[in-house]
Amino acid sequence: MGPINDPSSSTSPGRRTLTDEQFARLAKLVYERAGIHFQPAKKYVLESRLARRLDELDMDGFDQYVTFLTIGPYRDDEFQEMFNRITINETSFFRNEPQLQHFETRTLPMLLEARKATRRLRIWSAACSSGEEPYTLAIQVHRTLGIRLADWSVEILGTDISEKVLDVAMAGRYDAYATRAVAPAVLSRYFRQVEGQQELDASIRQMVRFERLNLKDTLAARRFGTFDVIFCRNVMIYFDDPMKAQVVRMFHQQLADDGMLYIGHSESIRSLGVAFEPVAAPQAFAHVKGRAA
Ligand SMILES: C[S@@+](CC[C@H](N)C(=O)[O-])C[C@H]1O[C@@H](n2cnc3c(N)ncnc32)[C@H](O)[C@@H]1O
């Protein structure tokens, strides 16, 4: 290996090509670590997103990288670095509005009534990317509770496997693309323009806590305790059925008996053998706990 960060040392043709065999080994490592299932058709994603990393590490090719991830002394750090690069982090504020309306107009009032004795509410945005989803939920809780918020303990947790997106989330500043679906009144109430970006108001930012969590690590997730609402949207599309079942079983354990699980509109948790029942509300993609676990 030569000097780090010297792209000039990486020009030999084919060094950055991922062969089918290397792809299979890399995809297996990714799956075992994070449950993310890369189809062979997505080989180009790994190849293009990791080519630069190979340059940074001044590696000869993907064989060396796979070895590094398998037996290298810094493999845990490298997995983290890799997940920062290979995950798809598409998200935005108020994504899938009808579903969020269900949360705000049905689930939230139901829970505020059910929790009026303890006045405690816990919401988990699992695989939250750069924070737009948990912050959207915080805005909804904030405007629903109004001045009553001071009497409630509301905890909103955002978790993701990628540290890179969590850094963006904690910064709380977004571009016009991220806020494109935010109504003008909400924009002026909860954001302010700073250096060409939209900065989220401190009242909302302080309602959300961010932690790194790999959803495959169900034991690590337990430390976060039980939630009244779990949002896990647009990440299970990257999981196969065994991984989905593992994650959804974990949600079952960590959801209050009268709690609600929201999933992405192109995802399904039917036929996983976990006792969740869809609520009868089209476009809500919401689930309650069924009878038998
Ligand atoms: C497409 S984004 C979805 C963001 C948000 N939930 C939404 O629907 O707008 C998917 C996120 O899942 C995260 N992710 C992928 N695999 C994960 C895993 N095993 N554990 C935790 N997060 C994961 C990615 O880092 C990415 O930020």
- 10-14, 198-202, 254-258, 277-281: which range is least confident on average? 10-14
- The reported pLDDT for the residue numbered 7 is 42
Catalytic residue among 16, 95, 160, 228: 160
Ligand 1 atom 27 nearest Cα? 129
In this model, does residue 20 exceed pLDDT 80? yes
Supply the DSSP symbol for 234.
S
Overall average pLDDT of the 128-147 stretch: 98
C-alpha Rg value of the chain to the nearest Å: 21
What is the whole-number distance in angstroms between the Cα of residue 128 and the centre of ligand 1?
A: 6
Nearest ligand 1 atom, CA 95 = 9
Q: How far apart are CA 152 and CA 110, in angstroms?
A: 15
Q: Residue 16 — very low, low, confident or very high, per pLDDT cuts 50/70/90?
A: confident
In this model, does residue 57 exceed pLDDT 80? yes
- The reported pLDDT for the residue numbered 15 is 75
- The reported pLDDT for the residue numbered 3 is 36
How many CB atoms neighbour CB 256 within 10 A? Answer: 16
Share of the chain above pLDDT 90, in %: 92
Q: How far apart are CA 267 and CA 4, in angstroms?
A: 41
Q: How far apart are CA 257 and CA 289, in angstroms?
A: 6
Overall average pLDDT of the 49-65 stretch: 95
Overall average pLDDT of the 278-282 stretch: 93
- The reported pLDDT for the residue numbered 292 is 53
Q: How far apart are CA 23 and CA 2, in angstroms?
A: 24
In this model, does residue 8 exceed pLDDT 50? no
Report helix, strand or coil for 163: helix
Domains recognised in the chain with CATH numbers: 7-86 (1.10.155.10), 97-289 (3.40.50.150)
Overall average pLDDT of the 188-212 stretch: 97
Nearest C-alpha neighbor of 177 from the set 99, 89, 267:
89
What is the whole-number distance in angstroms between the Cα of residue 130 and the centre of ligand 1?
A: 9
| pLDDT tens, position by position, 75-115 | 999 999 999 999 999 999 999 999 999 999 999 999 999 99
What is the whole-number distance in angstroms between the Cα of residue 100 and the centre of ligand 1?
A: 18
Element (H, E) at 182: none
In this model, does residue 165 exceed pLDDT 50? yes
Nearest ligand 1 atom, CA 162 = 25
Select from 79, 89, 124, 160 the residue to mutate for testing ligand 1; criterion: most ligand atoms less than 8 Å from CB.
Answer: 160
Could you tell me if 199 and 135 are in contact, meaning their C-beta atoms sit under 8 angstroms apart?
no
33 lines ligand 1 (CB under 6 A): no
- The reported pLDDT for the residue numbered 162 is 98
162 lines ligand 1 (CB under 6 A): yes
Supply the DSSP symbol for 232.
E
Catalytic residue among 49, 75, 189, 249: 49
What is the whole-number distance in angstroms between the Cα of residue 22 and the centre of ligand 1?
A: 25
Overall average pLDDT of the 179-186 stretch: 97
Nearest ligand 1 atom, CA 130 = 27
Ligand 1 atom 2 nearest Cα? 89
Q: In the annotation, is 122 catalytic? A: no
Percent helix, strand, coil in the chain, to 5, is 45, 20, 35
Overall average pLDDT of the 32-61 stretch: 95
Nearest ligand 1 atom, CA 91 = 9
Give the pTM. 0.94
Share of the chain above pLDDT 70, in %: 94
What is the whole-number distance in angstroms between the Cα of residue 274 and the centre of ligand 1?
A: 21
Element (H, E) at 17: none
Residue 138 exposure: Cα atoms within 13 Å on the Cβ side: 27
Overall average pLDDT of the 145-166 stretch: 98
Q: In the annotation, is 16 catalytic? A: no
What is the whole-number distance in angstroms between the Cα of residue 235 and the centre of ligand 1?
A: 5
34 lines ligand 1 (CB under 6 A): yes
